Amino acid sequence: MRALSEKTQARRECPPKDEVRLVPLTDISYVRQIESWVITPVPAAQILRILPS
């Protein structure tokens, strides 16, 4: 049996992407927070700072 690299082992322990994406949508408080972010006007500079380049 081949020894797995640490990276491969860590990847195997992660839940499927879809699972991660769907969980927050069942959490009402999370959804409300997202809504408040969307509704609240945010300066463009702040948005650009949040987004990964």
Answer whether 0.75 is exceeded by the pTM: no
Q: How many domains does the chain fold into?
A: 1
- Residue 32's pLDDT is 81
Residue 1 lies in a domain: no
Residue 36 lies in a domain: yes
Residue 30 lies in a domain: yes
Three-state SS at 27: coil
Q: Which long-range contacts (CB under 8 A, 24 or more apart) does 16-25 make?
A: none
- Where in the sequence is the domain holding 31, given as residue range(s)? 6-50
Residues 22-48 have pLDDT tens digits of 555 667 787 787 777 777 666 666 666
Residue 24 parent element (H or E): none
